[in-house]
Amino acid sequence: MQRNIACLNNGDFMMESSASNLTAGARTWQRSNGLAILVLCVLIAMFEDVQSIGVTAPQIARELQLSASQMGIIFGSSVLGMLPGALIGGRLTDIFGRKNVLLFSMAVFGLFSLATTQVWDYSSLVVVRLLTGLGLGGAMPNLMALSSEAVSAERRGTAVSAMYAGNPLGGASIAFVASLSAGTRGWHNVFYVGGLLPLVLIPLALVLIPASSGRSVTHTDESKHSSIYEAPFGQGRGVTTISIWAAIACTLIIFYIMVSWMPTLSMGRGLSHAQASITQVCFNLGGAVGTIVVGFFLDAFPKRAVVLGVFALIFAGLTGLANSFSPLGLAVFTTLLGITSIGTQSVIYAIASSRYPFSGRGTGIGGAVAAARLGGWAASWDQP
């Protein structure tokens, strides 16, 4: 009898041990898979075709004989396309899942980035950039939602910031390609890189991202209350949502003036095309550092203090840039503005990703991205 009891106890122990091992293994797999998804999101963000038109603007304007006002509308067309793209993509990701909407968005902005090399006049360029913007807008809410869901709640600020660091890293890469692409048709290389690499990443995303991402609560009671209005404004979130929209719109006005007009303004102050491209590299490398550092601060310190501190540094950077005429001065203050203006975006998006319920997170983040692009579109009308 005692032997039977001992056998039963040993059996229970072995079952508990096996269950514990399985649980630990599952957690390890989830962590590694979450890290892989986060790295993938960084790579996709790197090759979003946001800044290509800015670094190639002088060459495109010469080739197509475009005025400054026409270039302003071209800058605004891709940003304007991102606005409905973010709203629609953010909503669809809560209905059909992160994976499906992200893959479609990647295909759209990759193909139309390639199509930019085939434009023949002002009108065709506006249309192609508008359609590129639709794909970019649809991708951003998905990348932010996937990044925030790939880690634990207390690490969401760092995760979203790490993902967003891909944007300036990609911008720096594009600016570097532009600096090496002299000549009348050299600007085509920038759009070949910006178009082909997202398409190459689609099979990787198809394998890594679970099919159920963003849909695990689609049929629960929680999702029934996450309507297109309820997600951003329900349960007392109205003031938070309006604050997020206002802050991100103001930040994007500064950001888009920098990425769209900085190369042109730098050349107007006597810098060569290569030197102007290097200032854009400084801006983006500063942004990559800023997103990581500010994301760490966001998880370690009060969020309000972090946001106010970064906005104060933006003011200092703008003041310094307005009074700088040497290549070194321009490089220093564009770096500071990259750290602060791009870092602020990552902070606000990280806050947004933690303020909305899972079933409405895509909709909530999509609204923030749309507000940001509205600010960017307003910036496109500011001509030097």
Does the pTM of the predicted model rise above 0.85?
no
**Residue 180 to residue 351: CA distance in whole angstroms:** 38
Closest CA to 294 of 355, 242, 341, 244: 341
pLDDT of residue 95: 85
**Residue 185 to residue 187: CA distance in whole angstroms:** 5
**Quick one: CA dihedral 341, 343, 347, 350, positive or negative?**
positive
Q: Which two tokens stand for residue 214?
A: 């963003």
Q: Which two tokens stand for residue 239?
A: 């003031």
Distances (CA, A) of 279 to 38, 39, 83, 267, 378: 29, 27, 28, 10, 23
Collect contacts of 225-228 with beta carbons under 8 A, ≥24 apart. 226/94, 226/357, 226/359, 226/360, 226/363, 228/91, 228/363
113's CB contacts (< 8 A; 6+ apart) are: 49, 52, 132, 191, 194, 195, 198
240 phi, psi to nearest 5 deg: -60, -45
**Residue 263 to residue 57: CA distance in whole angstroms:** 8
First to last CA, the chain: 92
Q: Which residue has the tokens 């570097």?
A: 176
**Residue 264 to residue 276: CA distance in whole angstroms:** 8
Q: What is the pLDDT along the chain (384 residues), one digit of tens a residue?
A: 555 544 445 555 444 444 444 344 444 434 456 666 777 777 777 666 677 888 888 889 999 999 988 988 898 888 889 889 999 999 898 888 888 999 999 999 999 999 999 999 999 999 999 999 999 999 988 888 888 887 777 777 778 878 888 877 787 788 788 777 766 678 898 899 889 988 988 998 888 888 755 554 444 444 454 677 787 888 888 898 999 999 999 998 888 888 777 777 788 787 887 788 788 888 888 888 888 888 888 888 888 888 889 999 999 999 988 888 888 888 899 999 999 888 888 888 888 888 888 778 888 889 998 898 888 777 766 655
Closest CA to 284 of 225, 345, 228, 241: 345
pLDDT of residue 35: 66
9, 12, 16, 21: CA torsion to nearest 10: 90
| Cβ proximity of 307 and 348 under 8 Å | yes
- Give burial (CB, 10 Å; 0-12/13-18/19+) of 29: exposed
pLDDT of residue 46: 64
Give the residue extent of every domain in the chain: 40-210+224-380
* Architecture of the domain made up of 40-210+224-380: Up-down Bundle (1.20)
pLDDT of residue 182: 66
The 10 Å Cβ neighbour count of residue 28 is 10
Name the E strands within the chain: none
Closest CA to 151 of 48, 23, 295: 295
Coil vs helix vs strand at 235: coil
| Cβ proximity of 347 and 310 under 8 Å | yes
